[in-house]
Amino acid sequence: MSKNASGLIGVLVVAGVAGFAGHWWGARQATTPNATVAADGQTAAAPKERKIRFYRNPMGLADTSPVPKKDSMGMDYIAVYEGEEEETPANANQLKFSAEKIQKLGVRTEPATLRVLDKTVRASGRIEPDERRSFTIAPRFEGYVEKLWVNATGQAIAKGQPLFEVYAPELLAAQREYSIALAGVQALAQAGPEAQKGMQQLADSSLARLRNWDVSEEQVKELARSGTAKRTLTYRSPVGGYVSEKKVVQGMRFMPGEALYQVSDLSAVWVLADVAEQDIAAVKTGVRARVKINAYPDKTLDAALTYVYPTLNAETRTVPVRLELGNPGGLLKPGMFAEVELPVGARNKVLTVPLSAVIDSGARQIVLVQVGKPEDGRFEPRDVKVGARSEQYLEVLDGVREGEAVVVSANFLIDAESNLKAAVAGFGAPPAAASTGHQAQGKVEEIDAKTLSLTISHGPVASLKWPAMTMDFGVTNEALLKDLKPGAAVAFEFVERGKGEWVITRFSSQSADGKK
């Protein structure tokens, strides 16, 4: 090899080594922290690397891990970095509300307070005749109705008013016997004491028989004056009132004790009201009640509760109570409907919250309790046990302490346990969140109408950091499954109703052939 060739090779080797060294030095300068030289000659600090605190379950379950792992579905646990815990409440059950969200929704709180719980028990009732003022007219003798004087139901009658003319053989015989006895007493006026006494006893027994058969004193005196027995006698009413029932007709024959008229005195009436089973313990006799009659909406009547019946209606779960009410002018008619208000109150103070603070799902009662300072925006859902209620407040037996602030407005968004988490998520969602649920798109694989569930192959869910996968969902109601078939392409919104239980709340598009 010539000297010129050797020299050329040497130059090329030196150049290659120099280029490699330069490239290595530049790369090192670009990747080494705190080694970058700024344009002004000063060293600029590199961003600090975030530290991982733990890994959380990708499905939102209360399960964490200090090291990376996968769940039962093969999904990677999600890393949680330092500083991210400040975005969520310290307690997993608490809710973090932004100040802007609280202001927009008009969230208002009120402390749980001890107070005497005044209550008004309302019940529906009806006007009924006073049973103690109702009478049955039933003659004590056998006879025939010759003529009716009172011949219509509802007719008003007075005590002593003629009801009908009656022919009764026994009554006619008793009149004659009494007339003969009176004549005998007069004939033996000059006889001995024994004879006068015997005849007087006969006259007295005949008179007693007439009175027992409801023959009036006026008729007895007329019989004694004239001494002539009448074929028919006038039967008079022993009471006054209204004829509520009439069974007698002219010309009929009646037997002793047979009911011919039912007469009711309506100068005072009863109000029979049905009180719900849960309220009956607070109802006591002697209380004054307000009664409103549907026929007279502008009148409010005062009545006294006089009796609580000892029986319960198993079908309506109510207990009847009785109130007594005067009826001047006869405005109140039996059968009229009435609304009864019974004021009752507890003797001791109890812990109460406003009625609007309690979210009743049917199976549970929940209140949202403010935790910490108001500016913190943290609230905690709590199960409570409730007791008696008044017009505005509800007794809390367990779950809330005196002085704790509870949400009394804006919690109307949470109307059932099934959507509790969805509505609560809407309160405390980060600013980037657009709704209370999570959104995804996918294809329906299977549908089970009996269990209200379906299987969907969906794409990634950004709000939960889920990858694309196939999983089962429930639905909030069977109407969502109507006209939905396997193979349909759907865009849907879903929430977590329970731990690991994901439920679809609505479909934004669906069709049987996969088209919107």
pLDDT, tens digit, for every residue of 350-391?
899 898 888 876 677 888 888 887 777 788 888 898 887 777
Question: What's the rounded Cα separation, in Å, for the pair 220 and 236?
Answer: 13
Confidence of residue 189 (pLDDT cuts 50, 70, 90): confident
- Strands (DSSP E) found in 85-205: 95-96, 108-111, 113-129, 134-137, 143-148, 156-157, 162-167
Residue 214 DSSP class: T
Tell how far CA 303 is from the center of its chain: 27
Per-position DSSP letters for 109-143, written without gaps between them: EEE-EEEEEEEEEEEEEEEEE-GGGEEEE--SS-E
- Whether the CA torsion 161, 167, 171, 172 is positive or negative: it is positive
Report helix, strand or coil for 13: helix
Closest CA to 206 of 230, 175, 233, 228: 175
Q: How high does pLDDT run on average in the chain?
A: 77
**131-264 topology per CATH:** OB fold (Dihydrolipoamide Acetyltransferase, E2P) (2.40.50)
Percent of the chain at pLDDT exceeding 70:
77
**Per-domain residue ranges for the chain?**
1-49, 54-87, 95-116+348-428, 131-264, 268-345, 438-509
Tell me if the domain spanning 438-509 has CATH number 4.10.410.60: no
Q: One fold for both 131-264 and 438-509?
A: yes
**268-345 topology per CATH:** Elongation Factor Tu (Ef-tu); domain 3 (2.40.30)
Summarised one tens digit per residue, pLDDT across range 232-241 is 888 888 888 8
Q: Report the Cα–Cα distance between both ends of the chain, in Å, rounded.
A: 80
Q: Tokens in use for 228?
A: 């002539």
Do you know the residue count of the chain? 516
Confidence of residue 91 (pLDDT cuts 50, 70, 90): low
Instruction: Compute how many other C-beta atoms are within 10 angstroms of the C-beta atom of residue 72.
Output: 7
Q: 95-116+348-428 in CATH: which number? A: 2.40.420.20
Confidence of residue 61 (pLDDT cuts 50, 70, 90): low
Confidence of residue 246 (pLDDT cuts 50, 70, 90): very high
Q: Tokens in use for 391?
A: 């017009």
Tell how far CA 87 is from the center of its chain: 39
pTM of the predicted model as reported, rounded to 2 decimal places = 0.48
Question: What's the rounded Cα separation, in Å, for the pair 75 and 468?
Answer: 10
Summarised one tens digit per residue, pLDDT across range 150-167 is 999 989 999 889 999 988
